[in-house]
Structure 1
Amino acid sequence: MIITVSGQPGAGSTTLAKQVAKTLHYRLLTMGEIHKRIAKQHGMAIKEYWEHQRKNPTAEKRFHNELDAYQKREAKRGNIVINGKLSAFKIPNADLKILIVASLRERAKRTVKRDGGPIKSAMAAIKKRETIERRDWKKMYGFDYIADKRYYDFVIDTTKLNEKQTNNVVLDIISKVKKR
């Protein structure tokens, strides 16, 4: 089974993907972690690397093409949870494609809980990141990973759900999909 989990920044998609992969004993591919590893190999923090990529569109496109090819190869092996904002679009044959969303305030609260800092700063940073990602990826791929919900089998709003509740909802969905 191939499962993709995408989500707005701070909505809980990475946490969910890790929990689901662990519960199902599936491999986990987290595109954000791959981005961070590559940035580190170039001696940069992730935000610095993203800015570097944005300034060089040819390199950014090549970088995304390599990541896309990698996740497609991994998906072919099956029994995997792929966590990436573009994964539902890039792996259209996935058995289950989930989008995790939450209110901006809730996403900021979660980010502050994890990283610290004031909530207003977290809200501003999330809005900025989301705006840049949506704009850049729409330009690069021709779709908006949040607005274009047709790529997802399920959209789950986690604003009022904790990690365990979200995990249980998704595991219930997976068990129903497996029975088809």
Structure 2
Amino acid sequence: MLITVSGPAGSGKSTLAEALATALSYEHVSGGDIFRSIADERDLTPLELNRRAEDDDQIDRDLDRRLRTTAREQDNLVLESRLAGWMAGEYADLRLWLDGPLDVRAERIAEREEKSVEQAREETQARAESEALRYEEYYGIDIDELGIYDLVINTARWSPDSVTDIALQAVDTYDEHTDEGQTPVTGVAYDF
């Protein structure tokens, strides 16, 4: 089974993806880790790399190509990134979207990255706006369109353990045959 975990920065993607992978004995692949590695290799912060990606579409395309290849080639996987649900296309069995109010997400990021909440809020908002423009431009994806996801969870309402329990319940009750006769979600024709 391929499970994707998507959502904006600070929504709890990594926390849930790691918990699911552990509970299910699946591998966990994170687009954020890949992106941060690319930033480190270029001696940039993720925000700086994000800004460069506005002018260099190869940064996003390389990351997205790796995500799509991983989705196609691996089983028993939790694939986590903002676009994992889209990039996995027809290979995804269960697509999860996590979200939460910007203030809650900024507090989480500020704590994790040891910065002020205000700085985290500004950077998170700038990053989200930058990414939304690129997703639309490159792939025709409206990141706010949540119709492709099987389950959307507001992580401000539940503890991380409760979010994991909700997601595991979705996995346990997943029926691959419930969408027979429906058009599979394949996203758009991506030009990597």
Q: If the TM-score is normalised by the length of the shorter chain, which range does it land in?
A: 0.7 to 0.9
Q: Please, which of 161, 165, 183 is the counterpart of residue 164 of structure 1?
A: 161
For 1:64 and 1:112, the matched residues in 2 are separated by 25
Deviation per CA, 1:55-80: give whole Å up to 9, x if none.
Answer: 33xxx2x3333333322222232110
Instruction: Output the aligned Cα RMSD.
Output: 1.8
Does structure 1 residue 177 correspond to structure 2 residue 174? yes
Q: Is the 8 A contact 2:51 2:130 kept in 1?
A: no
Does structure 1 residue 40 correspond to structure 2 residue 40? yes
For 2:18 and 2:175, the matched residues in 1 are separated by 19
Distance verdict in 2 for CA 1:51–1:179, change over 3 Å: closer
Residue 25 of structure 2: aligned partner? 25
Q: Is the 8 A contact 1:30 1:83 kept in 2?
A: yes
Distance verdict in 2 for CA 1:50–1:122, change over 3 Å: closer
Q: Please, which of 135, 138, 157 is the counterpart of residue 136 of structure 2?
A: 138
Structure richer in helix, relative to its length:
1
* Worse-matched range after superposition: 96-105 or 73-82: 73-82
Return the TM-score normalized by structure 2: 0.83
Residue 14 of structure 1: aligned partner? 14
Consecutive unaligned residues of structure 2, counting only runs of 5 or more, are 178-192
Match runs of 1:90-101 below 5 Å: 90-93=87-90, 94-101=92-99
Match runs of 1:29-108 below 5 Å: 29-56=29-56, 60=57, 62-76=58-72, 77-93=74-90, 94-108=92-106
Q: Secondary structure at the match of 2:5?
A: strand
Residue 183 of structure 2: aligned partner? none
Return the TM-score normalized by structure 1: 0.88
